[in-house]
Structure 1
Amino acid sequence: MEGDTYIVNDDCISILEEISCKLSMEDHTLRTYRRAIGFGQNVKRDIVPLLISAKDPEIRDSAVRLMVNLTVPIECLLSVEILSQTEIGRHTIYELNRLLYTIKEVFVDLKATKAIIEYMKSILEADHKLSVAQCESINNCLLLLRNILHIPEHIHQQKSHTSMQNQILWNLFTQSIDKLLIHLMSCPQKSFWGVAIVQLIALMYKDQHVGTLQKLLNHWFEASQTDSSDDNESNTSPPKQSSGDSSPMLTSDPTSDSSDNGSGQMTTISSSDNADNVRIVSGDFQTNIIRGKPKMESNQKSNDFISCFESTEFNNQDIVMKSPEPASPTTSSSQVWSQKSRSQSSPSNQKHSAKSKKFQNKQPIHSPHNQSSELSDCGYATQVSQGKQLLMKTKFEVFHIASSPGDLQGEKNRESISTSSNDDDCPNQKPAHQKPPSTNKKQRFNAALKQRNATNPTMLATSTQEKKDSRRKKLVKRSKSTMINMKGLIHHTPSDDDISNILKEFTVDFLLKGYGCLVQDLHTKILTDLQLSIDTSHFFWLVTYFLKFAAQLELDLEHISPVLSYEIVSYLTFEGVSLCEQLELTSPQKGNDLRPYLRRIHLVVTAIREFLQALDVYKRSSHLSPEDKELIQTLQIQIGCTEDLRHMFVLLLRCYNPSFYSRQYLQDLIVTNHILLLLLENVSNLTEQRYSVDMVEHIKQFATVDIMHQYGTLLENFHDNSQFVNDCIFTMMHHIGGDLNQVAILFQPNILKTFSKIWETEHEICDDWSDLIEYVIHKFINTPPKPQMKITSPVLSDGVVINDGWAQEDLDTLYWYYTQGKTSKDVVGFIIDQIQESGHRTKSRQEVILRLLQQDIISADEYENLMKSEDSLYKAEVKSNNNADSPNAESGIEISDESELNGMNQLDDIKVLRDRLLKENKGNLILWLQRVLTECCYVKLNLLYSNENISNTSTFSTIMEPIPRHCILNKQSIPLVPFNSEQNKILVYQPFVLLLHKLGFHLPADANKLFVRIPEFWTSEILLAVAEKLGPIPRSILKFDINRVKKLQEVNNKMNSAEDSNQLPRISQIDISDSNSKESFT
């Protein structure tokens, strides 16, 4: 240093490279070289001044890469848990934390961050196309900023007026990082740095409570449209009325939509934090290579480094936990349920009270409307009429809550569909389901508002429309304007309110100019770059956190159409099922950290919730063009036709385990399912009968003891739940106990105990729920107790009561016959002879073997051995008869000699097992198997030939289900997911398992998975052939024309045989029309 000027050495680049090399080769346990750099304060004295003063791009690039390496969190460098057990280890952790803290102090200087921003700008301003090295330089700069924002602060810094985090953020925005980020999101090379941008944005918002930003956005919207107000938009000082609304650490429960660690405790920076504390690392680093990429870095080194970070204890917790689930935007519609009058035919009981009769013969279900609440009750309605359950048309009532300056004080008391953070906004508020006193200000305001509405409804409609038009004009103007104007406050000392206002401005610009393309780019990267380790929680967080703001602002659909698309909800569904399987596999194993899985699956649920709520907002929007309205309606129908999505919530509720899932997750799960059911019912009203959802059959899947127990668990906190949450619970219970007439499922201790508490404490609920409670309690008291059923295995419980020609005497003596003939050479023949001697119908050998298995007389291995013996006997008989015919397998593939005989016997086994299941009234599960197989076949055909070539018509019902689609795209085997309890039970039923084995499925033990797998290498021909082995395929489950498909397959085979020819026809040029293509199937 000479004065304020740093003199750059001629060998600077080689020295920087040498330091980076030594860092990579240092002791991986004690990190002595890194600690020496910290002890010598080389970052403050040399590296950062060099970064500020150097003009040579190569020197800057080397310095940035070195700084990225030096700012790596210690959890990525060593095992903190193990090292902290020794004195030397604790000292090492202290010194490394001290190094990180010192680096963050250095970057509080305005010049340090400016050097990074200016370096990126200089690269982007180049006239030529960016090279790969330049793209990596920009990515390293973003990684460095990300690492710096991630470094924790000392507690004494926390107590000061301005934290280092706030000052660094303020400096970055004065240096126009907002313009830079949005420009980078739109660059052609955005795939190089898309992940780093997401991680950086997440850290920028990590201390921001969603409710604070929502209120600031409301203030911004409500500002007058004059020039002075427009100028005030960019003012970073907080508005007076919101000065007390933001807080540095106002975060919701860690199990909200942004995180889920299962602990139920909020992670904040406490007063005991200091430099030697072990800092919980953020998982944003694991989605990318942490270190700046050196010129000669091997792939093996990068993979080892990523795997080291993935083993840390709390990956990504800081990011998502500070991003709580936002309250429902006041400009969006509140989802409510209302039902038309229903007539139910429950079993009559003359001894029932009048209230019980009233419940059974229900009138319209409406919650009493408190004048202070702007929500009404709502529900998806079903009815039972003359033993046949039919779907009752439901009227959807939606009350748009318009924000107004006068109603700002009442905003905290508003009910919201969002369930994770609205309680955090005002923890001491009175529960919304309790009627407020008549002197409530909001009640008087709403009463006056209703009176004005009644006297002049036209004026109100005009005023509301003018307000919406004014807002839209403001958004259009903002989308064409420049970014945040800091008004020259470069040396300003920012407060938490200042940072909140800056992020509020950035949020608007980000939503208008970068949100959609960033989500789309990250989604594409996740699907296509299978080798890159990306933490998908960042993607879920992006959808969850910002989609709420987009719905609140009611942006034009073009800005969020990449997010509000079927591709996104399809991927979320696939991830939800995959994470559920991973959790079920991992949870029984001791020592596994479940928190990353719990956080991700919680984010998936809340991302779907925000998606559905945003869809509802745009569905009711008045400023959409006809094209946009058609797009929204198409998206609704596609979601309604997606079976995997609606069945996924049955699976997640069935797999809920309170020992490691949080109650907040359960609440979000039930609420999201409730909102989805509303959409499904609306879709049934929109479309023709062919595409409507059978709501009764769907709700039957929830009518199990396990799932209703989860609803009862959430209802235990009825006094703390919002009115909407309680309505979600009661509505489902109402349909189970009333519409489905399965009230006995509600006879559970936790449900009855909660009902008794509500009844005894005279808790304020609507009359409909009071009737439900009284009916259930009355029914429970007057129902005679049944003998407790002994829980047995599916084989025993399902295998005894079957009327298939077996006399009870034969069943009773079968074990005796087997014991007597066990020593004979042919035990099966011995049993058949004994049955014939007793005077009963002769049984086939396969029937006897299967019955022995059903009765648990033989094991599965013994069954296999006996069936193999039968195969040998069959082959010998065929050979002795000199059968010269060459039979074909059912799939149409010719076989001969040994393979021919094996194929015939395998088909015989499949037929026996299938017939057995049909006799046991399990035909619906065979149909389920056929449905999954044909869906996988359809996906493979669609990806190969496109839908117009395999189907006669293109309809909304011909969407590709998320699970098979993403598995096939990822070249993975397709899981046979048991969504409901019946499907789950059949997968442990031995005959069904044997059937799957005979068909060629991969069983869980073979694939080391939880679910049965359909092999990935099965072609569409094999999938269709396997489905046909189970019997005729009903046309109702087919999404393609079988005749067209078979003709396409024939053409494809001819093309493969003539691949040497240069004049092969295209698929689109081949006439695949068939006069029999409209032939119906049984």
Structure 2
Amino acid sequence: MEWHIMNVGGVSSLGSNLGCLEDSQYIPSDECKDVLSEIMRQLKEEDPQLRIFRRQIYYSHLVEKDLCVMLKYLRDDPEIFSWVVRILANLTLPVESLIHSNGGYTMAEATQTGLSWQQGVESSLHHYRKLFTDKLVISSLLEEVHTLVVESEGYPLSEESCDVINQVLLLLRNLLHLPSNAEDNSCKEHEVFLRILFECDFTERLIKLLQLIQREYWTVTAVQLITLIFKGHTGEMFLQNVTDIESVTFIIEQSEDSQECLMCGYQHSDKDFQCINYLEEGISKNLRLRQGSSENSSPNSSSTDLTNQEQEKLHKYLEVFAVQFLTKAFCNMVHDLRHILTSPYKTMIDDVYILWLLAFFLKYARHQRVEFNYVRGVFSTDLFGFLVYEAVVNSEELVITQKNKQDTTKHLRRIHLTVGAMRELLQGLKLYSEDSNLKKIDVMYLENLQRDLASSSDLPQMFLLLIRNFQMHTHTLKFLQDVIITNHLLLLLIDLWRTSRLSKKEFNMLDHIKQFATTEVMQKYGRLLENFEYNNAIVNNCIFTMMHHIAGDCEKPTALLQVQILRTFLEILDGNTPLTQEKSDLIEFILHKFMVEAENNPFSCALQLFGEMPVKLEKRIAEEGDIDDNSEGEEEEEDDSTEEMKKEKDILLMLYTELMGQPGALGAISSKLEEFGIKKTEEQISKDLKEFDWLTDENNTKESEDERSSESDMDQGPSSSSSEDLTNLDDAEIVGHCIKKLKESSGEVHLKWLQQQFCDVAYAKYAMSWSSFDKKEPEGFVARLHVVQNKSVPLMLYSEEQEQLMHNPYFITLLQFLGLHMPEDVGLVFPRIPHFWTVQHLIDKASQIGDLTKDQLKFDPVKLKERKEMTEIPLPFKVEKMDDITFEKMRKIPESVWMNMIQQYNKNSGNSGKSEVSKHPTDTSSRAMPRIVPFSQS
């Protein structure tokens, strides 16, 4: 068929070889299927630098003259219909997808490169969508899908039928993906296309597909399609039947994140479809469209907008679809997506889809008071665990991306969407738990879920990690606001679970809150409090509640003595803002505390006021990481750097003035500097002091260093004494020595924590391998999902105190000699427990730290001997992915070849045993045989 392309007529001659339309009936030619096959081949093999073939198709009008006509009139020929749908799905691939396949370019890079075909392909896509506003074409597509489902009569669909259904959904998705532009009337075309889609029973057809057993064939495409359907319409979904303007504002603020943060990564099994699309139309825009005054509307803009009646009709269609989807397919889709994302096929789809689905539809379900039995499947321990896993993994990847100076947008949006999804789950859990009309079975289900969540340590610690990792130059205040609100909601629920005795184990709320009582964490709360006047009342309440507990229950009011917090408190008092008695008391207490501290200990108080300095330092570091060709910008950076160095010098002077003459002065100065984001060793401090002519008594310096070393060589990182201790020990003694040193420095609680991490991973592996095991409590969320995916499990350092352990030489050495993968070795942030360790091996490692109790293990270790995989370490070359090595696929080497290999090996090695082998070539019991071992038998 290639001559059709190469002849004088080019692509235009293809139409005459496909068939013709006579009396409302399309008659295909004898070569029709061959021509369609050739078109498809040419599309797949076209030059990605030029895209000539698809542009020729556009200019030859082949789509409107033949392909669309064939869709309408050739439904009785499934094979031709299938070819046409495939071709149209390929022709309508988004520009981003084509650009990505062209050497992995991004849209920005493509724009700079100036690809010659881009504008022509964009024009063709808008033209194709206009063609598909023909109701008969859309109806033919959806009717064919319906026919395939009906004809299966309840039996599984054939592979070909599943592929046709998926291609139809791909075509619709591509058409909805096109960006809308009010200037060229494409916005109206999009709305018309969407309305026609619903008029052709799209809702009923899609919901039916999502209920079939074989829905995994099109789940990925369907979720992309649903996401695009609601693009630009989320605002209207939450404004119906809402009269309280504050409630409307709150709903919009929370919904806006899901829309703003949504980054759709399309990766389909065809491997030729991958694009990144930002759903740019936020809820605030929809609110303006619906509530904007008529005087702001111009005659020109009214001509391009749908009438109010048409808009209301579309909104009704969307509402019906949302309710139908929620009640019939939502839980199944979430379950399927979670399964895909925790399987080897996770690269098929970006995880933002499941996050957006949860954040959007759970909010809508709560807003519409959808009955619990319809969304019950979403409220599960597994889904909560998945969200915790997503937050932790993306937080680590964000840090790595920042270190590598790469684009962090993707990770930031994923984390924000994860927080939004978690918030909706928690709010839904609270709402349904308080519903007095629930059935008894549903009440018991929710109580069991809450027991599982109350037993999780990863869930509350996740928010501590997110707050600690917040950086102003990277994240947005909206993100920090959502994290703090969701954390507040979770703490309220945990407190409720404790009082209701739903918790299986004791949760010490005070110990948990104390982890927030640091200068670093309160700095983040103080930054959000600076917007007190503009914050929602709920946001301010969350901030003041945490600060109240820090200053009161935790007895750490000094953590609030920071410039930004004190300044905001004064502004609140000066502004005569209405305050509750608790808030007023807190402000007065902190200001009074500051005045007392300033009078009694001026130097320490002055240092405390530099609590905002780490934020400025990290901002400066981030700015220095970016190369700016603007000379004016470089001068500003130099000025900022000089200013920061001056402040650093002032702090060092005040510290030295306060601590000079005391034993271990340099060590104390180094420790104090670290509290304010300045990390300097004692040698660096000594050098700086000498440069400033402040330090002249070298003997005093040496004496101070000696005293510091004798007092504690644990707090300041790897010291010479600890290095000498470890160097003089045998390898077998190092683990015991490190444990002893940690216990001597009050580190027993950290050893217990490390021991429990090994036990938790062992428990996760045990529970996964033993399906009949009756679990007393759920596995750790992070550990379980890493085990399920056969990945090494991170040693999560949630709190500031845990993070400091990685500066302790004995703790680091302990991890190394226990066999953990260290962050610097694997290019990650957290140490890793190797994925190939068995349950028995993990127990042995935990036992090296100290005696184990049954409560720590949560299972009977005696049963381990019954399962071989729990006690034997896999082969040394086993890799992370289970399917990378399949021993069953390895063919047995013929005996003659095997013996020849042995003889050759013995000949080369010059071993005297070679004669024995040559004399008995078929004797498999020969003593020479063990000299070649294909796999390690140890």
Query: What TM-score do you get using the length of structure 2 for normalisation?
Result: 0.73
Q: Which residue of 696, 699, 709 corresponds with 2:513?
A: 699
CA contact 1:671–1:725 (8 Å) conserved in 2: yes
Map 1:724-739 to 2 at 5 A: 724-739=538-553
Match of 2:203 among 153, 178, 184: 178
Residue 317 of structure 1 aligns with which residue? 278
> Once the 2 structures are TM-superposed, how far is the Cα of residue 848 of structure 1 from its aligned partner?
14
Letter in 2 for 1:623: N
- Residue by residue over 1:540-593, the C-alpha shift from the partner in whole angstroms, topping out at 9 and shown as x without a partner, is 111111112222333333211110111111111111100100101001223x22
Measured in 2, the distance between the counterparts of 1:927 and 1:65 equals 59
In the TM superposition, what is the alpha-carbon distance from 1:638 to its structure 2 partner? Answer: 1.3
Aligned twin of 1:328: none
- Cα 1:40–1:945 change in 2 (3 A) is same
Q: How does 1:506-655 map to 2 (within 5 A)?
A: 506-530=321-345, 532-590=347-405, 592-655=406-469
Contact 2:450–2:502 (Cα < 8 Å) also in 1: no
- Residues 855 and 662 (structure 1), Cα distance of their counterparts in 2 relative to 1, 3 Å cut: closer
Partner of 1:118: 143
- Aligned with residue 27 of structure 1, among 23, 47, 62: 47
Q: Are 1:100 and 2:125 an aligned pair?
A: yes
Q: Quick one: structure 1 residues 255 and 1013, their matched pair in 2 at CA, closer, same or farther if it must change by over 3 Å?
A: farther
Change (3 A) 1:863 1:121: farther
Deviations 1:45-97 (A, max 9, x none): 222222222231111111111111111111111234334335xx354221111
Amino acid aligned to 2:81: R
For residue 260 of structure 1, what is the aligned residue in structure 2?
A: 261
Q: Over aligned residue pairs, what C-alpha RMSD do you find?
A: 3.7
Partner in structure 2 of residue 342 of structure 1: none
Moved more, 760-769 or 89-98: 89-98
Once the two structures are TM-superposed, the CA of residue 506 in structure 1 deviates from its matched residue by 1.7
Summarize deviations over 1:430-468 as a string: whole Å, max 9, x none. Answer: xxxxxxxxxxxxxxxxxxxxxxxxxxxxxxxxxxxxxxx
Q: Which of 35, 44, 54 is the aligned partner of 1:15?
A: 35
In structure 2, relative to structure 1, the CA distance for the partners of 1:427 and 1:112 (3 Å cut) is: closer
Separation of aligned partners in 1, 2:791 and 2:725:
31
Give, in angstroms, the shift of residue 503 of structure 1. Answer: 0.8
Q: Which residue of 2 aligns with 1:921?
A: 746
Determine the structure 1 residue equivalent to 2:602. 785
In structure 2, the gaps of 5 or more residues are 1-20, 100-104, 294-305, 608-650, 657-663, 672-681, 683-705, 873-938
| Cα distance, 1:547–1:849 mapped onto 2, change above 3 Å | closer
Deviation at 1:704, TM superposition (A): 1.2
**Within 5 A, what are the aligned runs for 1:347-362?**
none
Change (3 A) 1:1056 1:651: closer
Q: 2:882 maps to what in 1?
A: none
**SS of corresponding position for 1:84:** helix
Q: Which amino acid aligns with 1:45?
A: K
* Contact map agreement 1:541 1:603 (CA 8 A) in 2: yes
Shift of 1:425: 9.7
Rounded Cα–Cα distance in structure 1 between residues aligned with 2:383 and 2:281: 24
8 Å CA contact 2:766, 2:870 repeated in 1? no
- Do the aligned residues in 1 keep the contact of 2:451 with 2:503 (CA within 8 Å)? no
Match of 1:283 in 2: 264
Pair 1:796–1:544, CA change in 2 (3 A) = farther
Which of 961, 966, 973 aligns to 2:785? It is: 966
Shift of 1:948: 4.4
Counterparts in 2 of 1:237-252, with a 5 A limit? none
Q: Are the equivalent residues in 1 in contact too, given 2:713–2:721 (CA < 8 A)?
A: no
- CA deviations on 1:1014-1050 (whole Å, 9 max, x unpaired) are 00001111111111111223565x1524xx31x2123
Q: What CA deviation, in whole Å up to 9, does each residue of 1:472-514 have, x standing for no partner? A: xxxxxxxxxxxxxxxxxxx999633321121112222222222
Q: 2:216 aligns with which of 163, 170, 191?
A: 191
2:719 to 847, 853, 856: 856
- Once residues 668 and 221 of structure 2 are traced to their aligned partners in structure 1, the CA distance between those partners, rounded to angstroms, is 55
Going from structure 1 to structure 2, the CA distance change for 1:797 and 1:168 (only over 3 Å counts) comes to: farther
SS at match of 2:483: helix
Matching residue within 985, 993, 1009 for 2:812: 993
**Is the CA contact 1:260–1:662 (under 8 Å) kept in the aligned structure 2?**
no
Q: Which amino acid aligns with 1:85?
A: Q
Question: Which residue number corresponds to residue 497 of structure 1?
Answer: 312
- Helix, strand or coil for the counterpart of 1:285? strand
Aligned counterpart in structure 1 of residue 162 of structure 2, from 135, 138, 150:
135
Which has more helix, going by share of residues?
Answer: 2
Equivalent residue of 2:794, what SS? strand
Partner of 1:1040: 858
Counterpart of 2:812 in structure 1: which amino acid? Answer: V
Q: Does the CA contact (< 8 Å) of 1:216 and 1:501 recur in 2?
A: no
Question: Paired residue for 2:66?
Answer: 46
Contact in 1 for aligned 2:462/2:798 (Cα 8 Å): yes
Retained in 1: the 8 A contact 2:50–2:116?
Answer: no
Specify whether residues 548 and 858 from structure 1 end up closer, same or farther in structure 2 by C-alpha distance, changes over 3 A only. Answer: same
- Gap change, CA 1:251 and 1:98, over 3 Å in 2: farther
Q: CA deviation at 1:196?
A: 1.2
Question: 2:131, 2:870 → 1: CA distance?
Answer: 67
The Cα shift of 1:922 comes to: 1.6
- Corresponding residue to 2:92 among 48, 65, 71: 71
Task: Compute the displacement of 1:252 (Å).
Answer: 5.9
In the alignment, which residue of structure 2 is the partner of 1:37?
A: 57
d(CA) in 2 for partners of 1:747 and 1:255?
34
- Give the CA deviation at 1:599: 1.1
Counterparts of 2:486 and 2:400, CA distance in 1: 25
Larger displacement relative to structure 2 (103-112 or 782-791):
782-791
Match of 1:1050 in 2: 865
Shift of 1:696: 0.1
Alpha-carbon shift at residue 155 of structure 1 (Å): 2.7
**Contact 2:264/2:353 (<8 A) preserved:** no
- SS of match in other structure, 1:163: helix
On the 8 A contact 1:255/1:664 being kept in 2, the answer is no
Residue 1003 (structure 1) shift: 0.3
Does the CA contact (< 8 Å) of 2:43 and 2:53 recur in 1? yes
Q: Hey, what does 2:821 align to over in structure 1?
A: 1002
Q: Percent identity?
A: 29
Q: 2:720 is paired with a residue of what secondary structure?
A: coil
Q: For 2:559 and 2:445, how far apart are their aligned partners in 1?
A: 41
What's 1:214 paired with? 238
Q: Aligned pair in 2 of structure 1 residues 529, 554: CA closer, same or farther (>3 Å)?
A: farther
Asked if structure 1 preserves the Cα contact closer than 8 Å seen for 2:839 and 2:871, the reply is no
**Distance in 1 (alpha carbons) for counterparts of 2:200 and 2:248:** 24
Cα 1:218–1:1015, aligned 2, differ >3 Å: closer, same or farther?
A: same
Summarize the Cα distance change of 1:67–1:284 in structure 2 as closer, same or farther, 3 Å threshold.
Answer: farther
How many correspondences in the alignment?
Answer: 738
Report the Cα offset of residue 285 of structure 1.
2.4
Q: Structure 1 residues 175 and 785 mapped into 2: Cα distance closer, same or farther (>3 Å)?
A: same
Q: 2:846 aligns with which of 1019, 1027, 1031?
A: 1027
1:168 paired to 2:193? yes
1:651–1:979 Cα contact (<8 Å) kept: yes
Contact 1:1002/1:1012 (8 A) holds in 2: yes
Partner of 1:983: 802
Alignment of 1:659-1058 (within 5 A): 659-687=473-501, 691-783=505-597, 784-787=601-604, 788=607, 856-857=719-720, 866-867=727-728, 870-871=729-730, 905-906=731-732, 908-946=733-771, 948=773, 955=776, 958-1033=777-852, 1038-1041=856-859, 1044-1045=860-861, 1047-1052=862-867
Distance 1:316 1:90, change over 3 A: closer
**What is the CA deviation profile of residues 828-884 of structure 1, one whole-angstrom value per residue up to 9, with x for unaligned ones?**
xxxxxxxxxx9x9xx9xxx99999996733897x887x35xx54xxxxxxxxxxxxx
Would the aligned equivalents of 2:761 and 2:842 in 1 still touch at CA under 8 Å? yes
Match of 2:182 in 1: 155
